[in-house]
Structures are given as structure tokens and as C-alpha cells.
Amino acid sequence: MRSFTQQLLNGIFIGSIYALFALGYTLVFGVLDVLNLAHSAVFMIGAVVAYSLVALHGWSFWVAAPAAIAVAGALGLVIEYVALRPLRRRNAPPLAAMITTIALALILVALVEQAKPGGALAWLWRDGANSVKFPPHTVPNDTFHVGGVTLTASKLAILVISVILMAALGYLVRRTSAGRSLRAVAENARAARLLGVNVNRVITRTLVASSALAGLAGILFGVALSDISPYIGRDQVELRGLAVIVLGGMGSVTGTIVGGYVLGIVEVMALLAFGTNVRAGVAFLALFLMLVLRPQGLLGGAAVERV
Amino acid sequence: MVGVAVAALVATACGSSGSSYKGKTLQFGAVFSLTGPGGVYGAQQKLAVELATEVINRKGGVDGAKIAFRIEDDASDKQQSAQVTQRLIQEQRVVGLLGPTLSNSAVAAHPIADRLKTPMLAVSTTGFNIVGTCPYSCTYIFRDSLGEASAIPANIKTYADKAHPKTAVLLFPNDDKFSADGAQVVRDNVAKNNIELLDSIQFTKAEADLSPYVTKAVQRNPDVIFITSLGAIPSKIMIEARRQGFTGQFLGGNGFNTAAVSKAAGDAGKGAQSGSAWYSGNDFKANAEFIRAYKAKFNADPDQFAAQAYTGVLILVDSAKRAKLTFKDQAGDRRRLRDAMEKTSIDSPLGPFQFTKQHDVDQPIWIIAMDGRGGFSLVSSLNPG
């Protein structure tokens, strides 16, 4: 029972990271019908910049984290102006945008992995392909043992921050004028434009918000899992992020949140039920079944409401 | 200050190969993982090869012949490793090669070098069947990196003799040859050291959060957790296991033996023990001079992977000077280099070094433990055999 509770907590925790990461995917997919595959690189940059400011430049984590989120948000502008808007102007198919965002991701990962002491980017990163962690005591990270179950402050904080952020995002999308514009563009960009919505501005804001979320998720990942490297986005969360938005129904915010937690919990339950060899396999089997039997996602009706 | 070992090699070269080397260039190649997950190790290897090249050429090269290394990145990818190996041999016409960085890549790259009859010296691949009992002839393949099949049993025995652990759990990613081979060595050696293996917990390299696996391991209450893995995985497991209350011993293999892993593990890794090909604290001449030269050039400490790559260059250079190369008959030169490599006997940063008949390492094994501050301390050393 202790093991079950611990594993359930493990699943809920990693589900929070999956959901937070995948929210950025789903926001952009909702308004653009494009998978922004540079998202995983922005996730990594968020963690790398925060680490750099703390470990290399001596900043307090509480200043470094917002600065890193701002840098990640600014990368959203780069994605929009470099990789997406030029293609939209000439009505390029969504596949072209996937390719340009993949290229951007590869460039960002390569820049970080090539950064070495004495190099041009040494102010940002000096560890090449190595994995590093925040210096000890960067954030209070006490460990609690309650009834045989281990809880760490960082993981609890991530859970709380994720829930607050997801609730705030849900409120923003449903209840504010900016959210209404977002939903209008997601539903039909041409109709939204005719109604006076500045579509390009909505898309730009969405990319900035989505990238800032990715940056935040990257920082939380780095704090909780003691793993910051050029590959944390690409190798560890990208595929699962895609799985989450399929589970949740492509483009649905609520569905993505539920999908994140479902995937996290299904993975650890698979581990308990079938052993360690098949954990990832069972999770992706669930994804496959979802695509075949319920392609609209967990929460979807006949058609998922976008964003 | 040029190393005495290097100076001795160069001096011997003057005596053995006559004047035919003068003004020529000995073109070697190296296939390293400079990007991708193996970049943790490949970057150090590249620096070490550049250092060795500079030191040897500054001393006059090999009987007047300069040495040059063309270093290619295989991006930690098996197919790319095979492609760049073939390109170096056929287009750059190298006489011999170092690499690749990862065992996973070696299974693709080494058969190509062997088929093209070009000596290739593995400087960090420690998995099974790299040399000796390969699934192909492998007569042109050598290894100067201590295999897991030697390092892990020595480490287990050293710890078991001292602490008499009763139970253990093994954690490893099953989609990586190095890790899976290491895991097999652990399984083959626990019983003979009176350790019961309670569980073998497998996962994939791309797992974001290893907590569920660590939970499964810790709740078996083992005396020892074995980790046979590379990159960030060992440190992540150690940190999480300590958080979950594990107070026992971590034992592992070559994946522990780099300062980056020790630094990432920090306090959680203190005492984590492994068998190593190299120990930075050894003060015998070849090692002391290597470390001094490395620090002077890069203002950083070398690690085991740098020491093995540096030794790899010394082996190729020592062999080239004894091989009586013609610089005209390329196939013949590659064969002569291979024959000379079989008779290697040098003092290296790894210790006195020779090859076995199977072209494998014959050198001391250093049992080391993480010091909790990004470094290592020496536990003991074992002689080969």
C-alpha cells in the first residue's frame, strides 16, 4: 500500500510536468493548427538560463526564474517571426511550419551543447552535453517522510504551481477578452479577422504565453529532477507532451491537463501492474487505443472545443 | 614541459624508422560523440587528442613526421558513426583510427574499419564483444578502455570483501548496449560474492523521471544499489534514492568515472564506488605529466575518458614509429601498423600498458569512490589477471 501511494504521488508529480509542458503545445495547436516542435527546446532554454543566472552569475533563484521565463517568452517571438509568420504569409502547409520549428529546435540544442568554457556562449553554458543541477540550497528542498511515503518540497511546490497556473490559464481563456479573441481565432481565423480581431497579435501573444509556460516547466523540471542538459526537452518530455495532447484532444486546454495526469498515472500503474520493462509500452498502447477508439480525446464530444 | 613518456616514444622513433618519415604526415582519424548524449565523454576525448597531437608534434613528431588527427562527430548515433568511419578511411585515407565513443556505435563502426583493414583503437567502449569474441573477425580492432567485464567484477569483489553486503537491486536502461552489458556482468557476479539480487529494474534512457523506478528499488531495502548506466542517469538515481531514504551503497561501472557525474551527484554520490581504468591521484610520471599538460592547456582537470584517449594517441604513435611505414603502400602501412600495435608496451597515464592476445586492455584496475565534491578518492588497485 505504501508503495502504491508513493507511486501514485510519483505519477501525479510527473503528470504535472507533462501537463504544464503540453499546455504550450496545445495553445499553439489550437490557434494555428501547427505543432510547434521548437517547444521542447524552449523548455530546455528556460532551465538552462535559470541555471546559468544562478550558478554562473550568482543571481538569486527568485530573480533568475522570472528572468528565464521572460527569455523563454521572448523566444516565442523568435518562433513567430522567424519560423511561422513568413510561412503563413505565403499560405504554406502546416507541415512546413513543423519543419521550420524542428530546425529552430535543433539550432537551439546545438548552440547549448557546443557551449564550452572559453567559448562565445560561456556566459550562458559551460557544460556542453553534460547534465548539471542547481547548486545545493538554491531553493529550500526539504524531504518529508509521512507514513512511509517520501515527499519533497520541490515536487509539492511544482504540483501547487501547476494547479494554480492551469486554473489561471483556464480562467484567462474562458473569462477574459484576450481569451475570447484566442478562442475566436482558434475556431475560425478568417471569421475572427472579419469581426475585428487582430489575428497576428493573438497568435504572437499565444506563442509568447506558450513559450513562457515551456520555460517555467523547464525550470521546475530542473529543480525537481536535478537534471539540466541540452537534451531534457527533446529526449525526456517531447514525445510524452505529444501523447498528452492526443489523449486530451488536440487543442483542448482542459483535455491536456487531464491527459497529462492520466499519462503520468497510467505509466506508474503500468509499472506496478506489469513490471518495469513495459511501463512506456503500456502508456503508448493506451495512446494507440485512444487514437483508434476515441480520436477526439478523453474529454472530447463529437468535436473538441478548441482552446 | 613535454612528457617524458612522449619524449621517449619520439626518441625511439628516431632510432627505428630511419629517415623515410622526415617531412611526411601521419594522418590518423578519430570518431567521437561530440554531440548527443555521448558528448559528455566525447568532448573530453577530443581535447585529449588535440593535446597529445600538439605535445608530440612540438617534440618533433615521429622521426620528423608530423602527426595529424581528423576528428569527426558521430552525434552519438550508430549509423552516423559507421558513415564517418567509412569516410575517414576511404576519403581521408587515414592509417589508423580512434573511437567511437560509445559501445552502441562501435557495433556499427568497428566492422567497417575491420572490413577495410584499418586499425581502429576503441578508447572508451567497454561493452561485450568489442574485441576478442566479436561477431566478425575483428582482427584490426583494439581497445585501451577497461571493459565492464573486468571493472565491475573487481569492484564488486572489493566491496563484498570489505562490507559483506547480503542483498542488492540493479537499475539500468535496457535500450543501451553499454548499460545492458554492464547489467549482465552484475548478474553474473553477485552470487559468487554471496549477494542476493532482489530485483533487476529496467527502464529506457529517455525517462524524464526515474522516481518510480527508484521507489521500487528502495522499497526492497537492499544493501547495495547497482547502477550500470551512462550520462545523467547515475546521478539522478543517487539523488532520488537518498531523498527516498536509501542509506546503502551505490556500486557501478565506467559510467560513474567522470567528474561531471560525480559533480552532478554531489553529496548523494559520496562513496559511490566503481572500477576505473584511471585515477587522477596517481603520481607516476606518465600520469603526472599528462595531468600537468592538460591543466596547462585547458585550465581544467582531465577525466578517465581524456586519459584513455591520450593513451590511445600514444599507442598509435608508438606503433607507427615501430611499424616502418612506407607512406606509399597504404594497405600495407595499415597492416604494418596493426602488427606493431599488437606488440605495444608503454608507460601511459593509465599505468603500464600492453594488449592481450585478443587486443584487449592489460593494465591495473583502480577502484575509486566519489568524494561528494565532484572528484574521486582511491579505494584500492588490482593488478591484471
- Domain enclosing residue A214, as ranges: 2-111+150-293
Please state the rounded mean pLDDT for residues A193-201.
Answer: 90
To the nearest whole angstrom, how far is the Cα of B34 from the nearest Cα of chain A?
8
Q: Is the same domain home to B61 and B208?
A: no
A59: CB partners within 8 A, 6+ apart: A53, A67
In a domain, A307, yes or no: no
Q: Is the same domain home to B93 and B7?
A: yes
Residue B255's closest CA among B156, B354, B146?
Answer: B146
In a domain, A137, yes or no: no
Mutate to test the interface with A, among B74, B205, B215, B297 (most CBs of A within 10 A): B215
In a domain, A22, yes or no: yes
Please say if the pLDDT value at position A280 is more than 70.
no
Q: Is B360 left (phi over 0), alpha (psi -120 to 50) or beta?
A: beta
Cβ contact (<8 Å) for B212 and A17? no
- Average predicted confidence (pLDDT) for chain A: 87
In a domain, B359, yes or no: no
In a domain, B358, yes or no: no
Please say if the pLDDT value at position A174 is more than 60.
yes
For A128, the closest of B39, B203, B245 (CB atoms) is B39
pLDDT for B147 equals 84
Indicate the number of domains in chain A.
1
Q: Which residue of B has its CA nearest to A7?
A: B212
Q: Is the same domain home to B269 and B378?
A: yes
CB of B220 less than 8 A from some CB of A: no
What is the per-residue pLDDT across A248-262, written as a single tens digit (0 to 9) for each? 877 788 888 888 999
To the nearest whole angstrom, how far is the Cα of B345 from the nearest Cα of chain A?
34
Q: Is the same domain home to B269 and B343?
A: no
Please state the rounded mean pLDDT for residues A11-29.
Answer: 89
CB of A108 less than 8 A from some CB of B: no
pLDDT of chain B, 385 residues: tens digit per residue:
334 445 444 444 444 444 589 899 999 999 999 988 788 789 889 999 999 999 999 999 999 999 999 999 999 899 999 999 999 999 999 999 999 999 889 999 999 999 999 999 999 998 788 998 888 989 999 999 988 888 999 999 999 999 999 999 999 998 888 899 899 999 999 999 999 999 999 988 878 788 899 999 998 999 999 999 887 899 999 999 998 889 999 999 888 988 888 988 999 999 999 999 999 989 999 999 999 999 999 988 898 899 999 999 999 999 999 999 999 999 999 999 999 999 999 999 999 999 999 999 988 899 999 999 988 999 999 876 5
Q: Is the same domain home to B270 and B291?
A: no
Cβ contact (<8 Å) for A225 and B231? no
Please say if the pLDDT value at position A27 is more than 90.
no
Q: Which residue of A has its CA nearest to B73?
A: A114
Cβ contact (<8 Å) for A277 and B174? yes
Cβ contact (<8 Å) for A225 and B213? no
Please say if the pLDDT value at position A1 is more than 70.
no
pLDDT bucket at A302, cuts 50 / 70 / 90: very low
Q: Cα separation of A113 and A229, whole Å? A: 8
Q: Is the same domain home to B210 and B304?
A: no
pLDDT for B122 equals 97
> What is the CATH number for B141?
3.40.50.2300
Helix A279-293 and helix A253-274, axial crossing angle in degrees, nearest 10: 140
Q: Which residue of B has its CA nearest to A152?
A: B243
What is the per-residue pLDDT across A51-75, written as a single tens digit (0 to 9) for each? 999 999 999 999 999 999 999 999 9
- Furthest C-alpha separation in chain A: 61
Indicate the number of domains in chain B.
2
The three-class DSSP label of residue B158 is helix
Q: Is the same domain home to B312 and B287?
A: yes
Please tell me the total number of residues recorded for chain B in this structure.
Answer: 385
Q: Cα separation of A20 and A13, whole Å? A: 11
Please say if the pLDDT value at position A270 is more than 60.
yes
pLDDT for B10 equals 47
- Please say whether the dihedral angle defined by the alpha carbons of residues A115, A116, A120 and A123, taken in this order, is positive or negative: positive
Q: Is the same domain home to B265 and B292?
A: no
- Domain enclosing residue B287, as ranges: 2-146+280-349
Q: Is the same domain home to B257 and B376?
A: yes
Cβ contact (<8 Å) for A129 and B211? no
Cβ contact (<8 Å) for A14 and B208? yes
Q: Is the same domain home to B65 and B183?
A: no
- Distances A71 to A42, A221, B70 between C-alpha atoms, Å: 9, 17, 38
To the nearest whole angstrom, how far is the Cα of A295 from the nearest Cα of chain B?
26
Residue type, A59: W
Higher pLDDT, residue A220 or A236: A220
Higher pLDDT, residue B54 or A303: B54
Do residues B214 and B240 make contact, with C-beta atoms less than 8 angstroms apart? yes
Residue A285's closest CA among B3, A274, B243, B25?
Answer: A274
What nine digits make up the cell of B282? 596517481
To the nearest whole angstrom, how far is the Cα of B91 from the nearest Cα of chain A?
26
| b (16+ CB within 10 A) / e for B36-63 | bbbbbbbbbbbbbbbbbbebbbeebbbb
Cβ contact (<8 Å) for A114 and B35? yes
- DSSP class of residue A258? H
pLDDT for B235 equals 92
How many Cβ contacts (< 8 angstroms) between chains A and B?
109
The DSSP line for B244-271 is TT--SEEEE-GGG-SHHHHHHHGGGGTT
CB of B266 less than 8 A from some CB of A: yes
pLDDT for B68 equals 97
Q: Is the same domain home to B131 and B255?
A: no
Please state the rounded mean pLDDT for residues A276-283.
Answer: 68
pLDDT bucket at A214, cuts 50 / 70 / 90: very high
pLDDT for A7 equals 87
To the nearest whole angstrom, how far is the Cα of B380 from the nearest Cα of chain A?
28
In a domain, A130, yes or no: no
Q: What percent of chain A has pLDDT over 90?
A: 33
To the nearest whole angstrom, how far is the Cα of B245 from the nearest Cα of chain A?
8
In a domain, A219, yes or no: yes
In a domain, B113, yes or no: yes
Q: Is the same domain home to B118 and B184?
A: no
In a domain, A288, yes or no: yes
CB of A106 less than 8 A from some CB of B: no
Higher pLDDT, residue A148 or B229: B229
Q: Cα separation of B385 and B143, whole Å? A: 17
Q: Cα separation of B196 and B316, whole Å? A: 43
Q: Cα separation of B107 and B73, whole Å? A: 16
pLDDT for A305 equals 55
Please say if the pLDDT value at position A91 is more than 70.
yes
Do residues A123 and A115 make contact, with C-beta atoms less than 8 angstroms apart? no
pLDDT for B13 equals 43
> What is the CATH number for A92?
1.10.3470
In a domain, A135, yes or no: no
In a domain, B39, yes or no: yes
In a domain, A197, yes or no: yes
Cβ contact (<8 Å) for A229 and B205? no
Cβ contact (<8 Å) for A131 and B232? yes
Higher pLDDT, residue A93 or B156: B156
What nine digits make up the cell of B354? 600492453
The DSSP line for A270-287 is HHHHH-GGGHHHHHHHHH
For A3, the closest of B36, B215, B300 (CB atoms) is B215
pTM: 0.77
CB count, 10 Å around CB of A165? 18
